[in-house]
Chains A and B, each alone.
Chain A
Amino acid sequence: MNKKMKKQLLRIIISGIMLLFSMLVSINVKYINNIIFIIAYFIIGYDILLKAFRNIKRGKVFDENFLMAVATIGALCIGNIPEAVSVMLFYQVGELFQSYAVNKSRKSVAALMDIRPDYANVIRNDKHIKVDPNEVNIEEIILVKPGEKIPLDGIIVEGSSMLNTLALTGEAVPRSVKKGDEVLSGCVNNEGILKIKVTKKFGESTVSKILELVENANSRKSSSEAFITKFAKYYTPIVCAIALVLAILPPLILNQPFNTWIYRALSFLVVSCPCALVVSIPLSFFGGIGASSSIGVLVKGSNYLEALSNAEIVVCDKTGTLTEGVFKVQKIEAISISDEELLKYAAYAESFSNHPIALSLKEAYGKKIDNKKITDTKEISGKGVQAKIDGKEVLVGNEKLLKEKNIDFNKSKDIGTIVYIVIDNKYCGYIVISDKIKEDSYKAVSSLKENNVKKIVMLTGDKTDISREVSEELKLDEFHSELLPQDKVKKLEKLMLEKSNEGKLIFVGDGINDAPVLALSDIGVAMGGLGSDAAIEAADIVIMTDEPSKIAEAIKISHKTMRIVKENIVFAITVKIAVLVLSALGIATMWSAVFADVGVSVIAILNALRILKVNK
């Protein structure tokens, strides 16, 4: 609670006590009771009256201060003095609660995104000094102690540690880093002292990019927000007009007392404030965006969160999205020698190459390669390599190579890249290298289906047989392979026609070479956003980790958000209209009108806050 709120609370307590006292203890001289009421009224309502007075001068009559002032002064004039005081009192209680709730949700969302570093320890002239991260230049060395946030992107020049990336990615498992590794700002250093050479200025650093994205998120408004703004624009003048008619016509036509109808009209004014209605909708979206950032999904605007809830078709890129994008040895099939030995010869033969296949062989072998044992290496372009290892003639390559050299072998039926190994003109077996499907992809497919996604399609530039296997393994609905970037655009255009009017198409890619399709789809999702500026810029939603199942999580949050938004809209409008009808009939009192105004807004806010309680 801040100072302003404490002051308001004090006023509420004082005038509340005065109101109660004056209602319960009736003093013989009637005026004294009324004087206490009036004093209580001014204590609780002076700021509203002041603002209302200022608003009359500028002709803003549909402002809530003005409406409350008119309603309560009107009640005072027709002699309903205790009611006027209590209406003002409850209005202020509601306002206080509202600002408390809004403040609280502001703070909890800010805490979810608590990644902004406050300072950097930069080493200058052999001393380390604390400075604003903005003042650190590229190439300078910064020191990060355990428990501190890494303030700028850079490369570790000294030390090793475990980094906590929870705030950035929603990932609880710490990441281990050592000298020479690139580190990103916003991570928290868990253990050792790190010396980092800065590679990017603060404004360009990951943390700044992410904060900018989150901070701008609320400027893109959803259609629900637009609806409620529009509704408020017409609702208030209409209700006020009816109030005016209500105060004048029935007494004249039906010849009834003015006081009754004026009282009913004043209740209308209390209900006519649009704010209760307006505040809960952006608050719900704000909470939804906050909840998704807490799981490492950055949504660039409430419009995208809204669109997610209508996701119908999900189109995925293959490499790097559904698969790990890294080639790995999947299978070793040796004949006459051991698997270990087969892998050793393959790794030795390929040791001078930097081709992804060669790298994966070396990684699988895992031991140091003794270069002295390798002689006469010769690359046979498009087919493989030839080398002398420990005096043995070794051939490592594809089918074509073996056919060319006239060597007998059994063709492997495995899917992926097959490397055959021949030692001294004798076929010794093969190794299968392929891209691995992410463990998380299975979960992603099933939970997308659970969240009303009708169709999951894979688009890839890769070969058909590899794509088919991935597609069948993951039980996707459709796949299109061997596509060039322009083909992807055409396929996506076709898919866009397949969805229903309301339905949305999501494209998920790693953000590299995907810009046209990201732009074309209803919602472009870039994955592995950590550290990739291009992806953050191009996409509407950025997933900080490389887990495709996060899309399903985000859809879940969007469903929850939209349900709460709808609940709030329906609830607020229904209660307001019900109270309007009841007060026109003289059944509802001004008390229920106050409930319809602030009570509804408080309930709507509490409802909106539920979004933040996403199971983490």
Chain B
Amino acid sequence: MKNYKFKIEGLDCANCANELESELRELDLINNVSISFMTEKLSFDCEENNIDEVLKEIKKVIKREEPDVSIEEM
């Protein structure tokens, strides 16, 4: 397991961040998901060789839940 951090931009409010966080928790391949509205950070743990697939899944969820939100590497 490795910890990954991404900058997450475009969140409207703290509640939206909480909701998106709980949606992302549903994903199987990642653990310890946390979205901080204040620091605009998405952090999660996953296996290193899964990261590409995980990112795809995360982006899918974001597109479904909050289409205005984007994530990028820091």
Binding site for B on A (CB under 8 A): 51, 54, 58, 63-64, 95, 98, 102, 105-106, 109, 215-216, 218-219, 229, 232, 274-275, 278-279, 281-283, 286
Contact = CB atoms under 8 A, between A and B. Distances in A.
B37 A64 contact: no
B37 A215 contact: no
B15 A232 contact: yes
Interface of B: 5, 12-16, 18, 32, 34, 36-41, 43, 64-65, 67-68
Contacts of B5: 215
Given A215-B5, A216-B43, A282 B15 contact: no
A222 to B, nearest CB: 13
A218 B40 contact: no
Given A98-B13, A279-B13, 12 more contacts: A106-B38, A215-B41, A218-B38, A219-B36, A232-B15, A232-B18, A274-B15, A275-B15, A275-B16, A278-B13, A279-B14, A279-B15
A106 B65 CA distance: 24
**Top 5 A-B pairs, shortest CB-CB distance:** A219-B34, A218-B36, A275-B13, A286-B38, A279-B14
Contacts of A275: 12-16
B34 A282 contact: no
A278 B18 contact: yes
B13 to A, nearest CB: 4
A281 B36 CA distance: 12
26 contacts: A58-B64, A58-B65, A64-B13, A64-B15, A95-B12, A102-B37, A102-B38, A106-B38, A109-B38, A216-B43, A218-B36, A218-B39, A219-B32, A219-B34, A219-B36, A219-B43, A229-B15, A232-B15, A275-B14, A278-B14, A278-B15, A279-B14, A282-B38, A283-B14, A283-B38, A286-B39
B10 to A, nearest CB: 9
A50 to B, nearest CB: 10
B33 to A, nearest CB: 9
A95 B68 CA distance: 16
A218 B38 CA distance: 8
A215 B39 contact: yes
Contacts of A216: 43
Contacts of A98: 13
